[in-house]
A and B are shown apart, each in its own frame.
Chain A
């Protein structure tokens, strides 16, 4: 039996000694599998992603890459994974073109040719924009460029932090299909943080639900309405209505579900979402 590509055991983290954002988080991810991370804003999803990417250090707990504890690696095992930050974190001052951005990463991977870069841009459907400024691209196109850049070192694990943020529903569908395509083409394991509950449940093998005081991790078929209600502190019906708000306003505190005045009468059976899973 092969080792999981990523395993976390009892990860805890708090910012500046405040109340913990992550408490005893454990999960594992096998090669070729996908793990979707769901939860309300401030629940610790991106924090967990940054800990795995080595950008933050956990207060306690163990992380294993390819069955080996990170403490046993001489340097952080960046060659195993690629991390795609939220595209809003790109510096808007520098006039960087798509191919220039790809070249930055190529400089760190000597065995990659310019032809390989074009193939990756082609794979993500953005080759025709190789000479465009990244700042002039749409949100979906920019996200594709970020993913293409992340694939340069042929990662065995892809970490995606809210890749569909700011995209319309068709843009989200296209991007998630692309991630699916990469997953099946390269047998790349994928860990994805997203607010698109529907898509995550449909596309990911495993789900990790996080909020500050609660976490649930298992196979997606075991995810129930009650678990989601516990994670989001609101009723499942509300959750479906507010799914779009969560995506669009992920930088702002989420809507207070206790006092919302949406019309729920026209809501179709919310459980159809769960039954609609693959």
Chain B
């Protein structure tokens, strides 16, 4: 227990830990906002595909720059991931045929290509593991600024046309024939998702970011009685347990991405269990 409280104090004493804490806060708010939409739009697999395809961008970036060139790595990874995302968005817009096989082929191929490029050309071959599973020690002041910028960009784009997002998600054909430009929103959603994933790589890693993208929304949709509530619950759940996860990771020297994933999952399981008990008692 002492270790845990000492660890809390560390967040105030060390700049990099404070950046990690604040970065986690901003990224988890953004994830909490996007998560219910990602699930309701049935794009969970797309999220997974985008996060895995970042590996290609990362491998190219790590072949061109050293690990301490934070912004250059971010810009290169983002550029390549957005290209991959646009291809996926183009291939999946209002398709009647199931697109999951195409997404599956795409993301395993880009990941495989990324690993080959990394093993052939990377300047430091040990870096990749941190990006795969997250490492808060890698978070810098620039990363914090990026996470704030991302939230500043994403929040208005989700909140202001909130009803349009919901209309499109709930009744796509009704929304399109009411004049909402579905294609614009389709591409916008995936570009925001790519931005969020690339910004969160150091925090959660390309493989484990999916937990931050899915668990809060799942919780929000499961426990809410209306749409607005599902978004509020999702953001609250995301921020509370992501912050708890980052504190636990630091306290026990655990990898941040894996700890976040486990804490969020445990919180979800516990909530579902408590809900079940509550329902049994009410009966």
Interface residues of A (CB under 8 A from B): 50, 53-55, 75, 78-79, 81-85, 89-91, 93-97, 100-101, 103-105, 107-108, 133, 146, 149-150, 153
Contact = CB atoms under 8 A, between A and B. Distances in A.
B167 A93 contact: no
B177 A100 contact: no
Interface string B178-199: 1110000000000000000000
Q: Which 10 A-B pairs have the closest CB atoms?
A: A104-B167, A83-B177, A107-B163, A78-B179, A85-B173, A93-B40, A104-B163, A94-B40, A91-B170, A53-B177
A101 B179 contact: no
Residue among A83, A89, A94, A103 with the most chain B CB within 10 A?
A94
Contacts of A93: 39-40, 42, 221
A152 B85 CA distance: 36
Contacts of A50: 173
Given A91-B169, A93-B40, A94-B230, 19 more contacts: A55-B173, A55-B176, A78-B178, A81-B177, A83-B173, A83-B174, A85-B171, A85-B174, A89-B171, A91-B40, A93-B39, A94-B166, A94-B221, A100-B228, A101-B171, A104-B164, A105-B167, A133-B226, A149-B171
Contacts of A96: 166, 170, 226-227
A133 B36 CA distance: 17
A104 B40 contact: no
Contacts of B164: 104, 107-108
Given A104-B170, A153-B178, A95 B163 contact: no
B175 A95 contact: no
9 contacts: A85-B173, A91-B169, A91-B170, A95-B227, A97-B227, A100-B227, A104-B171, A108-B179, A108-B180
A79 B179 contact: yes
B126 interface: no
A95 B178 CA distance: 21
Contacts of A146: 171, 174
A90 B171 contact: yes
A94 B177 contact: no
B273 to A, nearest CB: 21
Main secondary structure of the interface of B (DSSP, over half): helix
Contacts of B167: 104-105, 107-108
A208 B173 CA distance: 23
Nearest to B165: A104
Given A93-B40, A95-B227, A103 B178 contact: no
A19 B23 CA distance: 56
B230 A104 contact: no
Contacts, number: 91
Contact of A55 (B163, B169, B177): B177
Contacts of B221: 93-95
Contact of B171 (A75, A91, A103, A107): A91
A89 B230 contact: no
B173 A95 contact: no
B271 interface: no
Contacts of A150: 174
Contacts of A95: 221, 224-227, 229-230
A105 B174 CA distance: 9
Contacts of B169: 91, 94
Given A93-B221, A108-B180, A53 B173 contact: yes
Interface string B234-245: 000000000000
A149 B174 contact: yes
Contacts of A78: 177-179
Interface string B202-243: 000000000000000000010011111110000000000000
Interface string B147-180: 0000000000000000110110111111111111
B166 A54 contact: no
Contacts of B40: 91, 93-94
Q: Which among B166, B177, B225 has the highest number of chain A CB atoms within 10 Å?
A: B177
A101 B177 CA distance: 15
A215 to B, nearest CB: 24
A19 B177 CA distance: 27
A75 B178 CA distance: 12
Nearest to A87: B171
A108 B230 CA distance: 23
Contacts of B224: 95
Nearest to B174: A85
B166 to A, nearest CB: 6
A78 B229 CA distance: 31
B48 to A, nearest CB: 18
Task: Give the most central of B169, B172, B179, B224: most A CB within 10 Å.
Answer: B179
A94 B36 CA distance: 8
Interface in B18-54: 36, 39-40, 42
